[in-house]
Amino acid sequence: MEFRHIRSFLSVAETLHFGRSARLLNLSQPALSLQVKALEDELGIQLLSRNRQGTVLTEAGQAFREDAAVALEKLEFAKRKAQWASAGKLGHIRIGFISTAGFEIVPNLMRRFRKSYPDVEFSIRNILTGAQLEMIDDGLLDVGFLRLPIENRKEIEVTTVHREPFIAILPSWHSLSAKKEIRLHELKGNPFVMYAREHAPGFHDLLTGILSNAGVIPKVVQTAGEMPTLISLVDAGVGVSIVPASAAKRIVSKVAVCSIADRLPESEIGLAFARQNTAAVVRRFCDFARTSLNR
């Protein structure tokens, strides 16, 4: 049973005039008659009766018309959905993100993407960098926003989408807390709370290298996997810490925030996805994110 035959029948059922329907469908009248006849032969019933008074629906035609119209509408919608999905305009994207990316980067990006593609759905989770990489590898996550640098993985494509400076976080009573800017060597001898290496080895080693280049060998007294936890530890007086600037944007603790005068590499957030993930909606989102965030 062909869709075009059903469309032709529904048009004639509406107009009750083969000539008028032929013009509406841009067909010749004989071609339209053949399509309706083919549908009747397929069903094994007469749908339309033609005589000198005109065209009328048979009882069977009236019954078929109602359900056929609903079915055709659903099929047309299914066709559009399939086309949207193929074009990356429909689907579901699973996103993982580190805490600082969850403040503004991911929410703003999703809001802008949804304006253009309102039929795309998201599931989002705050996940540490190391776990994101494993989940992308295992096909449990489509897109990750994670801390860079990471080890080179041929199966995962990574693009830097955000850069920001590092800052120092000190307890409010610290001797340097009144200063707006410090140099790293001034933190010599202080206990440190650091980002746990197990969750983001590249990021941890980057920070350790930055401090080492400034002549500071940090005495690490506590580690944590989340930036808000690091800040809470500093607030509790456990130690000082070096964090990306965005980590301080929503601080509710009474800690001192100092910019760093040393010339340092920036903290970076990357967008990651599996190269083998060919889902059109994921590719479209990643292209959108890279274009939007790298302006």
Residue 177 is assigned to a structural domain of this protein: yes
Answer whether residue 83 is part of any domain.
no
Looking at the structure, tell me whether residues 176 and 245 fall in a common domain.
yes
Query: Is 112 among the domain residues?
Result: yes
Residue 139 lies in a domain: yes
Q: Are residues 248 and 218 in the same domain?
A: yes
> 67 with 210, same domain?
no
Query: Do 152 and 228 fall into the same domain?
Result: no
Do 235 and 155 reside in the same domain of the chain?
Answer: no
pLDDT of 250-291, one tens digit each? Answer: 776 789 999 999 999 999 999 999 999 988 899 999 999 999
Band of residue 13 on the pLDDT scale cut at 50, 70, 90: confident
- Maximum CA extent, the chain: 105
Q: What does the pLDDT read at residue 184?
A: 97
CATH code where residue 211 lies? 3.40.190.10
Report CA dihedral (287, 291, 292, 293) to the nearest 10 degrees.
100
Output the six-digit token pair for 128: 């540490």
Q: Number of folded domains in the chain?
A: 3
Question: Is the same domain home to 248 and 184?
Answer: yes
* 281 and 136 in a common domain: yes
Residue 274 lies in a domain: yes
273 and 155 part of one domain:
yes
Whether residues 98 and 137 fall in one domain: yes
Q: 157 and 285 in one domain?
A: yes
Give the C-alpha separation, 4 to 20, whole Å.
17
Per DSSP, which regions of 76-165 are E strands? 91-97, 120-126, 143-148, 156-164
Interval 82-107: pLDDT, tens: 777 777 777 899 999 998 898 889 99
Domain that holds residue 131: 89-162+269-294
- The enclosing domain of 42 has a CATH number of 1.10.10.10
Domain annotation covers residue 80 = no
Q: What is the pLDDT of residue 140?
A: 93
In this structure, is residue 21 part of a structural domain? yes
What six digits make up the tokens of 235? 């607030």
Convert the pLDDT of each residue in 48-78 to its tens digit.
888 777 888 888 888 888 888 888 888 877 7
Per-residue pLDDT tens for 211-252? 999 999 999 999 998 898 999 999 999 999 999 999 888 776
- Quick one: tokens of 275? 């190269």
pLDDT score at 6 = 86
CA distance 9 to 240: 78
**What contacts 78, CB < 8 A, 6 or more positions away?**
none
**Do 110 and 62 sit in the same domain of this protein?**
no
Mean confidence (pLDDT) of the chain: 90
